[in-house]
Structure 1
């Protein structure tokens, strides 16, 4: 993929306002959609420079040594980001820091625009004490700065660190900057000078994003008749063991999820609806949650596909994420159709999704930050609830099982793709023109970087004025 578009999302806000959580979520979202994205945390560069565990006094604006070292860390992070754009031909970078003064933002704006990078400032403002407290606990629990520190000592130190920023903090009022302000985790949004399609897509994701940690639960449908027969696709009924899983699922949910006010989402296919039938919660069916469409191979076993469509069988092993069945879908197609589901999940809590192996793999990869190459090989077993708990630094996973046996539908990635093996052996791969799916261009993003415009229309572009070089004042942790 070749593009001149380069965007830097510059985080702004006091500590414990969810900036790192937002930065990581935006990075995962864009990467999931095939847009080359990287996050650059000034805190990580500061820890490389002076080590972790610096006391709150290190972040005092009157601490000249600490201020100098934080400036060095910010400069190192910025230089690494600029180098990444040139070396990796990246599209979006995220500069994760407090960037809490106008002077700092002016310096960043000048450096970025001088390098033909569009800055998009993202400010997280939070004035709700419960939310701030939850964010503080998340930092104290997961940040490397407080690893192995007494919780009470960590809490006092972090409170002092935040106070060191409050006096000099300046909210964004620069009218010539592109920015979005997120106030109190979605209670208000302020958007200014968003310039193009990709920036608007980032903003659209942000206004759907809740910054507090949450849990999400996934389960495949119970074992189906097609699972037993090793057939793919279709709209099969549950097997006897699948019906037993559906019967025991309410108890499994009660034991491990508790009395939360759950909502259950299913696909429109019989096997998920039957699996959810006994759950005493509101239910919603999503067409977007249906299994990957296998086109002309629907209802066939893998052995039948290998016999009838050997080229397709071999090519799918070659690139399982990008291979599209003729008349059907690829995993990358499923990612795109699941984007509205992800948007809904970001807004809600207490959702149990009962769906299919491919669709759950795609959503699981989003939350667990799994690459496209590895996504089709994520292990999503039958008769298991998968719990994911998101936070700023990671996504924690738990699995809950019942004692109901099921077939193992997992197919590992071949060590040598079949098509390569056959070529090495000098054998031709027999082509059947009746199937012949395609492998999509992996270098192209799943989400287009710009809308498709009529041939006689050209997009208008607003220019950002360059500011004079300014040294950074107060940088982030």
Structure 2
């Protein structure tokens, strides 16, 4: 886990309907999965809770209206104050999700971060692709709490007027601060850091791979091996005849589908993928959790030879680390680079992996408390389909093959 030397505020920047909240939610999901204490503070949510539905209308965002302008600024600062207070009390990373399009606002936020001794980085989301912008507006009108119960055409016209108001006051980010700029959902991503910062580079490595749009991610274990029959862990066993039949059934399910196939570097996953006609890519980071001194043993053998290991593992399965091996927490950090690869794909993805690895991937897309991750059911002869959408929320279904 990359240490953060100071508590950090991630400050979103961008006009409405440019993907700020999408990236804020994705980043929050990623950081929590990695084990950081992270939380998002959304200024729009504060506005709705404090002022109600009337504050959603475009006239509230007219910069020429002094009363509304001061009210927006008051709410934004209140939201940011709560953000800093939470960070002081218990957090590692706070994400401040607001437009923040003026230089004056950004200077205020920078000053507050410095006054509290916190690191900060701006993440700007830009969208100048008219087709993509139109799609985001449609999503906004359909799903935003601002327009619940409002006629779609009326909502669209009102929202576009809000965008126009913000365009009139928008100012570019200057190079006297650290920032990441994302253009058109990952078509072009740049970073500008005032000093070397490992954590900021981690954010950049993740965000540059995020794409919008709908995509299915499939998780499947390899076919059966002799180790599966004997309940042994680790190793690099080949498929049994039954395992080869499982692989053929899996390949038949995905026949003629345009899909990216990712496997581990272990023989059993690559042998399973060999029955597919599609091209595969093998990744060592997808290898099963390293069981160290217990590799190739059965759980019964571990209980007899290493009773202290068995006891420690049962007490805290997520944080337990095999001697000379890994814990689930270690595994998540190893697997995270595979998540970057999955997110970067613009087509569906099939991961032919291992039980613990697939649990970790599943828990990224379907947020799961850490203590529950080692108990996610990942049987053989099963595919889990995770459906991602234009918004960060995903759904999952189990398919028998």
- Could you tell me which of 296, 313, 317 is aligned with 1:316? 313
C-alpha distance 67-277 of structure 1, shift in aligned 2 (>3 A): same
Distance 1:260 1:170 in 2: 45
Counting only pairs closer than 5 Å after superposition, residues 359-398 of structure 1 correspond to structure 2 as: 359-391=357-389, 393-398=391-396
CA contact (8 A) 2:359 2:376 kept: yes
CA contact (8 A) 1:250 1:278 kept: yes
Aligned to 2:81: 79
SS at match of 1:374: helix
CA contact (8 A) 1:215 1:349 kept: no
Aligned to 2:121: 120
TM-superposed deviation, 1:317: 1.6
TM-superposed deviation, 1:359: 0.8
TM-superposed deviation, 1:49: 1.1
C-alpha distance 284-193 of structure 1, shift in aligned 2 (>3 A): closer
Aligned to 2:178: 178
Aligned to 1:409: none
TM-superposed deviation, 1:306: 2.1
CA contact (8 A) 1:384 1:399 kept: no
Aligned to 1:169: 170
TM-superposed deviation, 1:156: 3.5
Counting only pairs closer than 5 Å after superposition, residues 23-422 of structure 1 correspond to structure 2 as: 23-52=24-53, 54-88=56-90, 90-147=91-148, 149-172=150-173, 174-195=174-195, 196-254=197-255, 261-350=258-347, 351-391=349-389, 393-402=391-400
SS at match of 2:208: helix
Distance 2:117 2:312 in 1: 40
CA contact (8 A) 1:56 1:158 kept: yes
Distance 1:241 1:56 in 2: 63
SS at match of 2:384: strand
C-alpha distance 221-155 of structure 1, shift in aligned 2 (>3 A): farther
CA contact (8 A) 1:266 1:286 kept: yes
Distance 1:337 1:188 in 2: 26
Distance 1:36 1:75 in 2: 22
Q: Deviations over 1:223-264 (max 9, x none)?
A: 33333332222223334553333222234235xxxx653121
CA contact (8 A) 2:317 2:374 kept: yes
For structure 1, which segment, 62-71 or 10-19, has the greater mean C-alpha deviation from structure 2 after superposition? Answer: 62-71
Distance 1:141 1:234 in 2: 50
C-alpha distance 391-163 of structure 1, shift in aligned 2 (>3 A): farther
For structure 1, which segment, 3-12 or 323-332, has the greater mean C-alpha deviation from structure 2 after superposition? Answer: 3-12
TM-superposed deviation, 1:315: 0.6
Distance 1:92 1:217 in 2: 31
C-alpha distance 30-398 of structure 1, shift in aligned 2 (>3 A): closer
C-alpha distance 161-381 of structure 1, shift in aligned 2 (>3 A): farther
C-alpha distance 145-384 of structure 1, shift in aligned 2 (>3 A): farther
Distance 2:242 2:60 in 1: 60
CA contact (8 A) 2:385 2:399 kept: no
C-alpha distance 141-248 of structure 1, shift in aligned 2 (>3 A): farther
The two structures have a TM-score, normalised by structure 1, of 0.76
TM-superposed deviation, 1:94: 1.1
TM-superposed deviation, 1:219: 1.5
SS at match of 1:324: coil
Distance 2:164 2:302 in 1: 64
C-alpha distance 313-74 of structure 1, shift in aligned 2 (>3 A): same
C-alpha distance 6-398 of structure 1, shift in aligned 2 (>3 A): closer
SS at match of 1:305: helix
Report the structure, 1 or 2, having the larger helix content. 2
Distance 1:392 1:9 in 2: 22
For structure 1, which segment, 227-236 or 330-339, has the greater mean C-alpha deviation from structure 2 after superposition? Answer: 227-236
The two structures have a TM-score, normalised by structure 2, of 0.89
Distance 2:239 2:68 in 1: 63
Q: Deviations over 1:129-168 (max 9, x none)?
A: 1221232233334433344555444433333332232222
Distance 2:163 2:377 in 1: 41
Q: Which has the higher contact order (CA 8 A, sep 6+)?
A: 1
Distance 1:43 1:315 in 2: 46
SS at match of 1:326: coil
- Structure 1: give runs of 5+ residues left out of the alignment: 404-477
